[in-house]
Amino acid sequence: MFDFSHYCDVGDYLINVPSEANIRSGISRYYYYSGLCCVRRYLVETMNETEFINAFNIHKRICDRLINSCDDTEASIGEKLIQLKELRNNADYDWRLGLDYFNENLNNVQRDSKIILEQIEALRNSPPLEL
């Protein structure tokens, strides 16, 4: 089975080679690692929410599921995911934004990715009760 932490390793590598393309790609890798892959795996494997196996519209469905959670930690993860997704979209698609913008946001991306991973680990160890 693929180890999604390699996405984070790639992100770390890319941001240490100073170029706009690398910073943009690194931001994208952080989002996919913490945001999509680890959260999705938590929902499927820990919470047994198999509807998240299907990739159709997966980004929106994961964010909606978490934002609307009664669990404060899940809702917090959802909010951070939306912010990371916006930055990832900017990194992947908005050619008008330059290196300064991404350098200004890089620390936030790294911090929020780390927080999401810590929160997911805590939820795996103590899943929220189903309401």
**Residue 2 CB: number of other CB atoms within 10 A?**
7
Asked whether residue 131 is assigned to any structural domain, the reply reads: no
pLDDT, one tens digit per residue, over 28-52 is 988 888 877 889 999 999 999 999 9
Residue 27 in any domain: the answer is yes
Q: Determine, yes or no, domain membership for 55.
A: yes
- What is the overall mean pLDDT for the chain? 90
Range of the domain at 30: 5-125
Give per-residue pLDDT as tens, 1-12.
767 677 778 888
- Note the pTM of the prediction, 2 decimals: 0.88
Confidence class of residue 130 from pLDDT cuts 50, 70 and 90?
low
- Whether residue 128 is predicted with pLDDT greater than 60 in this model: the reply is yes
The answer to whether position 130 is within a domain reads no
Please check whether residue 72 lies inside any domain of the structure. Answer: yes
Total structural domains within the chain = 1
Are 54 and 65 in contact, with CB atoms under 8 Å apart? no
